[in-house]
A and B are shown apart, each in its own frame.
Chain A
Amino acid sequence: MTRNRSPGPVPRRRLYAVAALAPVLALGILLLPGRERLRAAGPANTGHAELACAQCHTPADGTVRQQVQANVRQLVGLRESGADFLHKPVGNADCVACHRNEDDRHPVYRFNEPRFQEAREAIAPQYCVSCHVEHSGKRVTAEPTLCVSCHADMEIREDPIEPTHAQLALLEEWASCLGCHDFHGNHVRTTPVSFDRVLSLIEVRSYLDGGPPIYGRELRYPARTERAKP
């Protein structure tokens, strides 16, 4: 005698197995070579889409086991400092490895000087990533008014523009600075002295957000496509 078995509920164990396997499979797919961008925290910033992740995310010292050991030892008080895990933190040196501007008007290291304490507290200009948060899909993530942090008491004796820089500061027109001034001075251009040539805030914002170049296309120091060897 045969017994008809009805298709009852899926056994719980099988459900557990599928539930456990799915994330492992997903993780496996993400870890496949060529899938690095899927693991990124967000879209690459302007000009970074073709970069390999390893250009910025360099491997941490030691093996994974050494790194885990160091961090656990620190956790239980057997060691003073921990260790970077998998990758070193990305810092200024990683940016400068490609973006080396020998004539940078605002090199980040200058902001480590004591007199920039207020600016450091306000906008942390000593770090590249304070203005260029990576994986944001933009060129610049800072507000175009950041100049106020250092140039609030601006005085130019023979000011070539009208209204003068001092008057603009008094009017708190800080969003207008980037309409004339290229922050890092890396474009081959002359700073305009006539307001007819000032870029609008819309144009500036579009540029910061990753839009087309507004200061010209010719760069004094083009970025490398691969980081410089130390």
Chain B
Amino acid sequence: MKSTGFILSALTLVVLAIYLFVNAPPALSENAVEAGATIPIEMVLETVAAENDIVRALYTGEIVSKGPAVELHFDEHWRDAAVQAGPLPALFLREAARSLHNSEVPLGLFLGSDFPISAANRFQGAQAEAFERIRRTQKPEFFYAAETGQYTAMFPDVASVAGCVTCHNEHAESPKVDWQLDDIMGATTWMYGKAAVSQQEYLRIISAVRQGFRDAYTAYLEEAATFEAPPEIGERWPAEGFFLPSADVFMTEFARRASAHTVDRLIAGVDAPEAVIVADAE
């Protein structure tokens, strides 16, 4: 009787071991570090921040600044049905951030300041300290947010056109009303969960960011199409009259301004030194 029990137990163990350890089905892939992940995330975030600067300059300079002369208006409540307006530059960025959040690429993008119009956007803690250094040095800041496991970069957000200054100075809720051109008005914060990425992932990130810009601009076009008197959407820009460039035209102009710089940075990434894990330095 005892030997029968032993045999049965042994058989059960053997069957269990085969079920558990013999790779009849292929093993599930692990969330391991992607092969060839040698490009430091700082380099990646600098690239996307540069792209963001270019798209914002394009949107602010060619759409928001030129729009009012042809009765195209921009408002913080642009999505309200009663408001016939487009998104202000900060809200354009927020649209892009939302698109990024909905994408497969886990890249975070935020805009804040030490004097934000909405108090909820005021920097605190590590971000406030980093922003103080940005004000002093006018250079980006990189740090690892251990609590969230995010490699974080903050880039100065400069008042590049008069519209930024006048809008913030005249806004009823603005806590600072003496902004001047070229002031650092805030910072964009970018976050990613890896210290280094592969070339492939680098490209995926850039692609997602550009899709975010396209989505943000498309959201404006969709809103503009609902205006009582909608502008003509096509090849022309507000500088030429009551027109808005289509998303393709807008993105083509963006690519014309941004791509050479981005390609240079991609090539530089090939020769990038092994990524330094910022977390280790913290």
Contacts and interface: CB of A to CB of B under 8 A. Distances in A.
A50 B10 CA distance: 48
A154 interface: yes
A65 interface: yes
A115 B130 CA distance: 11
A164 interface: no
Given A69-B20, A79-B30, A102-B98, A110 B110 contact: yes
B81 A188 contact: yes
Interface in B139-158: 145, 147-148, 150, 152
A72 interface: yes
Main secondary structure of the interface of B (DSSP, over half): mixed
Contact of B28 (A62, A103, A113, A115): A62
Nearest to B173: A157
B20 A151 contact: no
B21 interface: yes
A206 interface: no
A66 B125 contact: no
A144 interface: no
B112 A113 contact: yes
Interface in A45-104: 61-63, 65-70, 72-73, 79-81, 83, 96, 100, 102-103
A155 B110 contact: no
B148 A112 contact: yes
Contacts of A225: none
Number of chain A interface residues as a range: 35 or more
A195 interface: no
Contacts of A68: 19-20
A66 B30 contact: no
A156 B174 CA distance: 9
A66 B28 contact: yes
A62 B219 CA distance: 38
Contact of B123 (A62, A107, A115): A115
B73 interface: no
A158 B172 contact: yes
Given A69-B20, A80-B30, A114 B148 contact: yes
Contacts of A96: 102
A109 interface: yes
B116 to A, nearest CB: 11
A107 B20 contact: no
Contacts of B112: 113, 115
Given A102-B79, A157-B172, A114 B145 contact: yes
Contact of A73 (B21, B97, B102, B172): B21
Nearest to B102: A96
Contact of A113 (B27, B79, B102, B127): B127
A107 B32 contact: no
B9 interface: no
A117 B97 CA distance: 20
- Best-surrounded residue of A80, A109, A118, A150 (most CB of chain B within 10 A): A109
A156 B23 CA distance: 64
A169 to B, nearest CB: 11
A156 to B, nearest CB: 7
Interface string A152-186: 01111110000000000000000000000000000
B25 A63 contact: yes
Contacts of A81: 30-31
A66 B173 contact: no
B28 A117 contact: no
Nearest to B95: A102
Given A81-B30, A113-B108, A114-B148, A102 B219 contact: yes
B154 to A, nearest CB: 9
A120 B127 contact: no
A227 B79 CA distance: 24
Interface in B98-127: 98, 101-102, 108, 110, 112, 119-120, 122-127
Interface of A: 61-63, 65-70, 72-73, 79-81, 83, 96, 100, 102-103, 107, 109-110, 112-115, 117-118, 120, 150-151, 153-158, 188
24 contacts: A63-B25, A66-B25, A68-B20, A69-B19, A69-B23, A69-B28, A73-B27, A79-B30, A96-B102, A100-B102, A102-B98, A107-B101, A112-B108, A114-B127, A115-B112, A115-B127, A117-B126, A120-B147, A120-B148, A151-B119, A153-B119, A157-B172, A157-B175, A158-B173
The 9 closest A-B pairs by CB, nearest first: A115-B124, A109-B101, A103-B79, A62-B28, A72-B20, A115-B127, A70-B28, A113-B110, A114-B127
